[in-house]
Amino acid sequence: MRYFFYTLLIFSFASCNKKDPAPDNNNGYDPSKPSFKAGTTWIYHYTFYQSNGTIGSEDDISMTIAKDTTINGSKYFVTTNKYYFSNKADGYYEYDRTVNQENLIYKLNSTAAYQGSYLTIPPSNCIAAFTAQATNSDTTHSGYGKTYDKLVYYTMSRYSTNCQYLPTYSKDLYSYKVGLRILQLFYSGTPAALSQRIELKSFTY
């Protein structure tokens, strides 16, 4: 199960400018399209929970942009571990190079439910899919000394379409202001219990 969650990778990212600190806790970074660069790095803190609710393990996972590229006319950023992501007008996308497909993960400007798929890492043959809905488009979250506002709150039911996999669901907080996921909570089991917490710890532009 832990391996499977690692395959979800890190969705969206953001940046800050140390030379010109912002007047707010979002580091003043509020463009319509985030402009990242090679070397931009994010650190997420992963917490894995046992079935009894106690913490089983914790890790810090870092992601760094290596370059950018153009796919289907859109600018994508590529991390050092070959993860491709893009922030477009209608939401956050990731690119699956195995099947050459753009996947919309966080859809903006709509409260209607939508379906999609997301990356898995070979040699897994499971097709990972989800049904998602934005349930709140103006919420806040505080963590690691920063407060983020205007977040979009998503509920996402995750399942496999071609192999045996127990469905899970997650609660995601995505910031359209800075173009990254702030927090993701995974729930699994019967009854459903928190199994993993992924939270943005820091980022450097």
Beta strands in the chain (DSSP E): 41-49, 55-71, 74-79, 84-88, 91-96, 101-107, 114-117, 128-143, 146-160, 168-175, 180-188, 193-204
Q: Is the full-model pTM beyond 0.85?
A: no
The domain 2-204: what is its CATH number? Answer: 2.40.360
Tens of pLDDT, residue by residue, the chain (205 residues): 443 333 343 333 333 333 333 333 444 344 455 668 899 999 999 999 998 999 999 999 999 999 999 999 999 999 998 999 998 989 999 998 888 899 999 999 888 999 998 876 655 567 788 999 999 999 999 999 999 999 999 999 988 877 766 678 999 999 988 788 999 999 988 888 999 999 999 988 7
DSSP 162: S
Question: Can you tell me the distance from the alpha carbon of 76 to that of 94, in angstroms, rounded to the nearest whole number?
Answer: 8
